[in-house]
Amino acid sequence: MKKLQRLALLFSVVFATYACGNDDDPVVTPKEQFTMAESNGVATVEGSTEDNVTFSASKKYLLKGFVYVKSGATLTIEPGTIIKGDKASMATLIIERGAKIMAQGTAQSPIVFTSNQAVGSRAAGDWGGIIILGAAPTNLPSDNAKIEGGVDRPYGGTNATDNSGVLSYVRIEFPGIAFQPDNEINGLTLGGVGSGTKIDHVQVSFCGDDSFEMFGGTVNMTHLIAYKTVDDMFDTDNGFSGNVQYALGISDPNVADASKSNGFESDGDAQGSDNTPKTSAVFSNVSLFGPKATGSTTFNNNFGRAMHIRRNSNISVHNSLFAGWPVGLLLDGTKTQANATAGTLKIQNTIISGTSSASALTVESGSSYDAAAWFNASGKNNMVVADNSTLGIAGSFNQTTRPDFSIGTQLQTGASFTGMNSFFTNSTYIGAFANGQDWTAGWANFDPKAATY
């Protein structure tokens, strides 16, 4: 019996020693996960996730506050899913550098990000918007620059082909807030997003700031809509060098920002420095409709220019239409004008219409640069057309029913893709639409204020 007791004691000592010897095993820290609470078919989402998450079309989602998808995680959103942004908390979805969003909708079942306000109460700025951050180059001095809007997350890097996922057949409605003066959240903000990312068929409607703003990066995009935005339709900064084909912008004549609402606003960077990469985005087949459907249309005096190109930008615009703007083109600053003369800033096969001759082609006050001579130079095939009515585009200015994007004979020919890269699909027409072909059909909504979600 004593021998058995001794053996039992020895066993317990050995076991205790073995157990103590494993105290140094690594401790597994649980991953951050969204806080999600579901009630009546609506899942309220808050916080951050380091885990993969799927939003299902079988329920609705309400974002509260800043919602982060962190590096290494993927947010997948099924076609037809409805995601609302909480107004009180300035809800914003942030896809951090190294994370992905896989939002692949369809023409029949688009993914919708919208306001949580009731029908009749929705307005621009009801929530923040979507911010996607990547590791593609910018011209900022640090690869850890923080994106604007109070988000305080880094973007940029050296991977031009970085992949932040997919955004396809997606609507973003009533976003855009001024977090602080000159520190806003746009409808869709892209910071250092790389060319491995797929973005197409995205509509931003009733945005309180810019519909689309690109801070550096190389992402290519097609079929974009900026609808009744308060500020700029398309803003390119900090070395954005992607390609964009088929882009539409439609203004609300009564609504504009005190800072001047433009179709395009393009900067090299905030200082107009010579930092590289330069802002050298290439746009083709763009139709941006300003507030002036006709010469007698009344509109908000804060509307600005169809194209405000400044601060050493090297943007290129081809095969495009800018109709009904108080000012057509503003080539702003000596560096910008030098880029135009050197041919690194290009506008070709493009029409400016419905703008007075004195305001169609302009430069900043005090400049002697001849923007008209540059724009109208032989071989560019640009035109200034006095009256929108000659182009057959009246339906595009429709403010009461769904716009009609039919075009007249003059716009059906004249495009050229000579010297452009292989990303672009060749076509014959000027602007975003071939006559009788409406790529907004089925998935876009031009009356989201009345939509039932």
**Got the DSSP string for 44-79?**
EEESEESS-EEE-TTSEEEE-SEEEE-TT-EEEE-T
Residue of 346, 349, 399, 353 lying closest to 374 (CA atoms):
346
CA distances from 16 to 3, 8, 19, 188 (A): 20, 12, 5, 59
What gap in Å lies between CA 268 and CA 140, rounded to an integer? 10
Residue of 400, 408, 396, 378 lying closest to 440 (CA atoms):
396
For residue 79, the one-letter residue type is P
CB-based contacts of 119, cutoff 8 Å, min separation 6: 449, 450, 451, 452
pLDDT value at residue 83:
99
pLDDT value at residue 29:
82
What gap in Å lies between CA 287 and CA 88, rounded to an integer? 35
Burial class of residue 88 (count of CB atoms within 10 Å of its CB; 0-12, 13-18, 19+): exposed
**Got the DSSP string for 285-354?**
EEEEE-S-SSTT----TTB-EEEEEETT---EEES-EEES-SEEEEEESHHHHHHHHHTSSEEES-EEES
Which backbone phi and psi does 449 adopt, to 5 degrees? -65, -25
What gap in Å lies between CA 83 and CA 124, rounded to an integer? 16
Return the H-helix or E-strand segment holding 113: strand 111-115
Domain ranges of the chain: 35-450
Task: Say which CATH topology domain 35-450 has.
Answer: Pectate Lyase C-like (2.160.20)
pLDDT value at residue 28:
75
CB-based contacts of 262, cutoff 8 Å, min separation 6: 231, 232, 233, 304, 305, 306, 307, 308
Output the tens digit of pLDDT for each of the chain's 453 residues: 444 444 444 444 444 444 445 556 677 788 899 999 999 999 999 999 999 999 999 999 999 999 999 999 999 999 999 999 999 999 999 999 999 999 999 999 999 999 999 999 999 999 999 999 999 999 999 888 999 998 989 999 999 999 999 999 999 999 999 877 678 899 999 999 999 999 999 999 999 999 999 999 999 999 999 999 999 999 999 999 999 999 999 999 999 999 999 999 999 999 999 999 999 999 999 999 999 999 888 999 999 999 999 999 999 999 999 999 999 999 999 999 999 999 999 999 999 999 999 999 999 999 999 999 999 999 999 999 999 999 999 999 999 889 999 999 999 999 999 999 999 999 999 999 999 999 999 999 999 999 999
pLDDT value at residue 25:
66
Residue environment code for 331-347, b if the CB has 16+ CB neighbours within 10 A, otherwise e: bbbebbbebbeeeebbb
CA distances from 337 to 235, 271, 363, 382, 395 (A): 19, 16, 9, 17, 35
pLDDT value at residue 14:
41
pLDDT value at residue 180:
72
Cis status, amide bond into 403, omega within 30 of 0: no
Classify residue 147 by its DSSP letter. P
Residue of 295, 287, 249, 309 lying closest to 444 (CA atoms):
249
What gap in Å lies between CA 342 and CA 439, rounded to an integer? 36
Burial class of residue 94 (count of CB atoms within 10 Å of its CB; 0-12, 13-18, 19+): buried
- Under 8 Å between Cβ of 289 and 324: yes
What gap in Å lies between CA 233 and CA 188, rounded to an integer? 11
- Under 8 Å between Cβ of 164 and 188: no
Classify residue 167 by its DSSP letter. E
pLDDT value at residue 8:
45
pLDDT value at residue 26:
73
What gap in Å lies between CA 40 and CA 45, rounded to an integer? 14
